[in-house]
Structure formats: C-alpha cells, structure tokens
C-alpha cells in the first residue's frame, strides 16, 4: 500500500461469531486517497459487516485492513479504538447518538478520545456549530434538549457532524441518506462532499440507492469485490 492509498483490504476473511458456515471474503479492495467511492449492495449482502471490519469494530479471521498506512487488524483492541477515534469518522446507520445528551455534546464526543483531531481546532464548539449550520441545523437544535428529541433526519445530520469534526482522514458512511427525500438527499451529498474535500479526506459511502451512483468518483458493487458464503442446508 502506498501513501496515496487511504484504505486497502487484502485477503480479508471473516467468520460470523458462533458460526462456521457464514463467512465474508474480500480478496482485494483499495480506496485511493481523496477518492469518493460509493459501495452499492442490497440489504443482507454484508455491507455493514464489511464496514465494521474497515473501522476496526470487528476483527478479521485472516487478512489485513490497512487504513492510512496502518494494518488495524494487527492492533490490540485498545489501540484499534484509539486509531479509529483519530483517523476514521463514522456515520452509523443507526446514528448511535446519546439520546439524553445535546446534539452538540454528541458532535463533540469523538474529540474526547482523539487529541490529534482536537488539536486541529481552535474552537471546537464553534466548528461543530458551523458544520451543523452547513447541514441545515440551527444552534437551538444543537444545544437545547436531548438528541433523542430530534427528528430522524436531524439526528442523521448530527451524526455527520460528529464524523466530520476534526477532519479525520477517512469518512465511512452507512446509508446516511436513507431518511432523506430526493431534494434533501442531493443537498446533503453536496454538503458532505464539500466538507470531505475541505478536510482532504477520503469517503467510502455504503448505500442500496443506485440513484447516487453518478455523484461519486467511483461506484463499486459489493458482489464484485466480496463473497458471502452460507452453510448449505442439511
């Protein structure tokens, strides 16, 4: 892997815990630095499992997952967690917000575990509010009440602010436009691209929505790079 590659998967194998018959295999996949790639796949095709491996939340049974020059599959859990906090901004499909904390506190949360990301900011609260405004959220929505009181679309935007703040090198987004209508979806993608480019980051976005394909530098179908094997019925 060269320094111009943001992500590389090599001979990746993963077996679901408690099963010997369900496996995910990826022989090779690379994401060039600065590229915006859309990964298309149907529900149940293994998209979320693959993202979990890329982010170091799960560990492969074999092979390597190299992000920003580091094979995170070789790191201890503690070091993987620290590396992820510093280098990967994640938009989870279920958002994973703390419902009773404000949206602003949720957006700032990764900085508590990522001193290098935090050091890039002169005023972290102001930066979070700036990103939120660009995504269509006003200060009152960010600072009043718990994040659980926001609409699904608003929570989704908070999750994106959390991923972008501090400019991590890799942004991984799991179905971030699923709660948006066509007009809001186009605006959201425009804003996401603007901030990813400003941060000099690379973007891997997973979706089942083929209408997004022409917006990205490259579109990859999951079935073209990955194999999901299931045990034969007895």
For residue 100, the domain's CATH number is: 3.40.50.300
Confidence of residue 9 (pLDDT cuts 50, 70, 90): very high
Determine, yes or no, domain membership for 161.
yes
Domain that holds residue 149: 34-51+76-221
Whether 18 shows a pLDDT value over 80: the answer reads no
Determine, yes or no, domain membership for 23.
no
Q: Give residue 42's pLDDT.
A: 80
Determine, yes or no, domain membership for 226.
no
Determine, yes or no, domain membership for 8.
no
> What are the residues whose beta carbons fall under 8 Å from the beta carbon of 53, sequence distance 6 or more?
9, 12, 14, 24, 59, 60, 65
pTM of the model: 0.90
Residue 151 has which token pair?
Answer: 């609409």
Determine, yes or no, domain membership for 14.
no
Q: Give residue 20's pLDDT.
A: 61
Count the domains in the chain: 1
Mean pLDDT to the nearest integer, 123-152: 92
Query: Which has the closest alpha carbon to 29: 50, 43, 46, 49?
Result: 50
Determine, yes or no, domain membership for 57.
no
Whether 219 shows a pLDDT value over 90: the answer reads yes
- Which residue carries 């090779």 as its tokens? 28
Determine, yes or no, domain membership for 98.
yes
Determine, yes or no, domain membership for 178.
yes
For residue 141, give Cα distances in angstroms to 5, 71, 95, 96.
Answer: 37, 39, 16, 18
> What are the residues whose beta carbons fall under 8 Å from the beta carbon of 224, sequence distance 6 or more?
none
Query: Which has the closest alpha carbon to 53: 80, 35, 31?
Result: 80
């Amino acid at each position: 892997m060269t320094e111009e590659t943001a992500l590389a998967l090599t001979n990746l194998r993963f077996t679901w815990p408690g099963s010997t018959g369900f496996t995910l295999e990826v022989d090779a996949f690379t994401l060039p630095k600065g590229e915006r790639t859309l990964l298309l796949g149907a529900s149940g095709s293994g998209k979320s499992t693959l993202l979990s491996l890329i982010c170091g939340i799960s560990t492969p049974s074999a092979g390597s997952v190299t992000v920003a020059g580091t094979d995170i599959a070789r790191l201890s859990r503690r070091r993987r967690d620290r590396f992820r906090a510093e280098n990967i901004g994640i938009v989870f499909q279920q958002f994973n917000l703390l419902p009773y904390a404000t949206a602003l506190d949720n957006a700032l949360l990764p900085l508590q575990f990522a001193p290098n990301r935090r050091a890039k900011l002169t005023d972290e609260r102001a930066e979070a509010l700036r990103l939120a405004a660009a995504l269509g959220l006003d200060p009152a929505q960010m600072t009043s009440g718990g994040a659980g009181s926001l609409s699904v679309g608003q929570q989704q935007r908070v999750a994106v602010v959390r991923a972008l703040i501090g400019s991590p090198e890799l942004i991984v987004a799991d179905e971030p436009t699923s709660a948006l209508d066509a007009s809001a979806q186009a605006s959201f993608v425009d804003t996401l691209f603007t901030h990813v480019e400003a941060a000099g980051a690379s973007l891997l976005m997973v979706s089942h929505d083929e209408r997004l394909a022409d917006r990205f530098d490259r579109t990859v179908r999951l079935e073209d790079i990955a194999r999901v094997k299931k045990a034969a019925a007895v």
